[in-house]
Structure 1
Amino acid sequence: MTQSLPLPLSLPLTVADEVRALAPGFTHLAVEARGLVNGPSNAASSALLDEAVRRLTERLDGRAPHEDPHVAAWRAAYGAFGAKPSRTRNSAEALARRAVSDGGLPRINLLVDAYNAISVAHLIPVGGEDLDRIRGGMRLVRATGDEPFATAAGGEEVTEHPEPGEVVWCDDEGVTCRRWNWRQGVRTRLTERSVNALFLLESLPPMTHGALEAAGVELAEALEALSPGARITVRASGG
């Protein structure tokens, strides 16, 4: 069953004033899901991704992803905190590039396929976190540079640190996603063992609140189809 409710979440979710100053029109929406059943990608999740590519191709109409107004807004936001958007692309642009020119979208697992499909179809950054691995609330802040970030290199888990001033999502244990929505850490990522999840959808003008909420509802419907019986709540967007 899907519900649409106002904030707050059962998990605290905050955006620092210093981040809002970088991008005054920033808005986010959360989809909280419990009782999910994850597993390997299948025909249903692949169909979601194929349909997303079709919708993206129609939306771009021959343009490159970075020429889309919403992607261009994210590039400007990245530049505002010192990132080079042509080198560290936001997750929506990176997926869109793969979809249209770099060999197509990867198949990861049911839950990741679902949120990647929404990201590509709406050209919006979407991330998924395992609720059972998050420690305390989640915060979008500008990093000091001391925060730990668990990632993988050469097949092994390693700890990195963000650059001072970089925009990051973090919890009480460390960074969960670097450069706003560029690279997710391994500690809270969704695996085939994940049963409870928090999905974050993020937007900037010219995307409207209505368009953001429509993307959230579509994600909830996809999750419900892949995990019948899951309890899914779309939390109203926060500016």
Structure 2
Amino acid sequence: MYFRHSNAMWNEFPDLVPGALFVGGITADAAVADRIAKFHAIAEERLASSSEGEMPEIQAWRRTFSKMGLKPTQYRCASEALLRRFRQEKSLPQLHPLVDLCNAVSIAFAIPVAVFDLAKISGDLEVRHATGKETYLTFAGETEHPEPREVIFADGADRAHARRWTNRQSGLSAVREDTRSVLIVAEAMHESAGNDAPRLIATLAAELAGAWSVDAKTRVLSRSSPRFDL
């Protein structure tokens, strides 16, 4: 299995810096509260000096959403949506230790982080434009069909595991109690993304090693090296 962005995506979004991480041995009983707290503190400090919409990481994704023909305040990238909720509620919902940790890292870096249960993905996973025939399962159990040209995470069975790129993940490959192996993807567009995305992936790898005693395989992707073999 491999993960990649299509050539068309690299042509259209040359500023993209994606990082990916593959790890097995995940369980739902890891203690991560202290780890989460330190990243929440970083996010809180950043929000004290500027709103999420003023952060360069979020502004870059807003420009990207506009380029895709989406209203950026109607469809927010995942990190902006999390930061907005965190600013309003001073906390984030507890879902699963891994998801909670990834969400905490995401708001600390203001970079979208997606987590996929690999057992629910068929074949390879590619970020590409939809053809219109793909299926997407919502968390409510409803089936949707992404619009043609919409940016999705698509597998070999034409199932979309995320819609509108970094906006909304699928309920099909969401991390659950029985999840063991995952692919984690972080994508950045801002000016310092070349430094920040690798730092985010390295940070996550270290946190996973500490919380689950696992060694992650990591890769920072580029136009010249777009493929991550799991």
TM-score by structure 1 length? 0.87
Q: Is the 8 A contact 1:127 1:199 kept in 2?
A: yes
Looking at structure 2, the residues matched to 96 and 207 of structure 1 have their Cα atoms a distance apart, in angstroms, of 19
Q: Distance in 1 between matches of 2:25 and 2:222?
A: 25
Counterpart for residue 114 of structure 1: 101
Cα distance, 1:72 vs. partner?
Answer: 0.4
Show structure 1 runs of 4+ deviating over 4 A. Answer: none
Distance in 2, Cα, partners of 1:66 & 1:178: 21
Map residues 10-159 of structure 1 onto 2, 5 A cutoff: 11-39=1-29, 44-153=31-140, 157-159=141-143
Once the two structures are TM-superposed, the CA of residue 33 in structure 1 deviates from its matched residue by 0.3
1:156-171 residue pairs with structure 2 within 5 A? 157-171=141-155
Q: State whether residues 137 and 172 of structure 1, in contact with CA within 8 Å, keep that contact through their aligned partners in structure 2.
A: yes
Deviates more, 1:53-62 or 1:24-33: 53-62
Q: After superposition, give the CA deviation of every residue in 1:71-105 in whole Å (9 maximum; x if it has no partner).
A: 00001111111111101110000001111114521
Whole-Å separation in 2 of the counterparts to 1:98 and 1:77:
21
Give me the identity figure in percent: 29
> Which structure 1 segments of 5+ residues have no match?
1-10
Q: Distance in 1 between matches of 2:194 and 2:111?
A: 12
* Distance across 2 between alignment mates of 1:178 and 1:143: 9
Letter aligned with residue 13 of structure 1? F
Q: 1:232/1:160 Cα in 2 relative to 1: closer, same or farther (>3 Å)?
A: same
Measure the CA separation in 1 of the matches of 2:39 and 2:21: 19
The code of the aligned residue for 1:161 comes to H
Q: Distance in 2 between matches of 1:79 and 1:236?
A: 25
Match of 1:7 in 2: none
Q: CA deviation at 1:159?
A: 0.5
2: CA distance, partners of 1:63 / 1:236 = 29
Query: Aligned-pair RMSD on alpha carbons?
Result: 1.6
Structure 1 counterpart of 2:206: 221
SS at match of 1:152: coil
- Contact 2:138–2:144 (8 Å) recurs in 1: yes
Alpha-carbon distance in structure 2 between the residues aligned to 1:101 and 1:50? 17
CA-to-partner distance for each residue in 1:104-127, whole Å, 9 max, x for gaps? 211111110111111011110001
Unaligned runs of 5+ in 2: 224-230
Q: Does the 8 A contact of 1:82 with 1:166 survive in 2?
A: no
Q: Secondary structure at the match of 2:216?
A: strand
What letter is aligned with 1:165?
R
Q: Aligned partners of 2:38 and 2:97: how far apart in 1? A: 15
Contact 2:121 2:155 in 1 (8 A): yes
Aligned pair count? 222
